[in-house]
Amino acid sequence: MSGRRDAVVRCDGCVGCCASSQFVHIGPDEVETLAAIPRALLFPAPGAPRGHVLLGYDAEGRCPMLAGDRCSIYEVRPRTCRTYDCRVFVASGVDVGDDKPLVARRARAWRFTIRTPEDRRARDALRAASEFLRERDASLPEDVRPVTPTQRAVLSLAVQHLFTGSTTPPLSRVVAAIRRRRP
């Protein structure tokens, strides 16, 4: 979900993330994607540099590129869609939220296997990171404060490495790490 490579997720026909009232960000470098989507469906992404746009959703919360239960532009779907991985909620322990029941249902079905002490440490560190971000939300500067559960889950991954020890890192270190590693 850092945007650097595609997620490999067995969706098994689930299109929950395409039908959950989510805005899909598209960068100016996604030329083929932009060419495949009618211009009228795109609008400038608030606060982002020129050229970054968002694809919205219809009155039922469905992406307008969904045709039945398939993405009509799958081969050139946006990077946001290619990198989305609902397992991040289970891994981080972040609640998807009541407004996205389809994603919540799919996410709840995932199970992680903890095989080694290292696995457990990684899982615990990620959970500690997401809990820290939840508890300290009001203290976080605006530019790093997660707005959505998805953002909190992804930022937890970005600072997970700070929570592997027995002591809680200071807020300033977490903020600096987010600014450095933010996807």
CB of 94 to ligand SF4, least distance (A): 20
DSSP E strands in 28-141: the ranges are 42-44, 53-55, 66-67, 70-71
Choice between 7 and 176, CB closer to ligand SF4: 7
HSE, CB side, 13 Å, CA atoms: give it for residue 25.
Answer: 16
CB of 50 to ligand SF4, least distance (A): 22
Helix (H) or strand (E) holding 82: helix 79-83
Q: Does the footprint of ligand SF4 cover residue 103 (CB under 6 A)?
A: no
CB of 90 to ligand SF4, least distance (A): 21
CA dist list (Å): 174 to 20, 124, 128, 130, 139: 30, 17, 12, 11, 11
- Mark 1-40 with x for binding to ligand SF4 (rule: CB under 6 A) and - for no binding: -----------------x-----x----------------
Query: Which residues are CB-neighbours of 37 under 8 A, at least 6 positions away?
Result: 26, 55, 65, 73
Q: Does the footprint of ligand SF4 cover residue 81 (CB under 6 A)?
A: yes
Footprint of ligand SF4 (CB under 6 A)? 18, 24, 63, 65-66, 71, 73, 77-78, 81
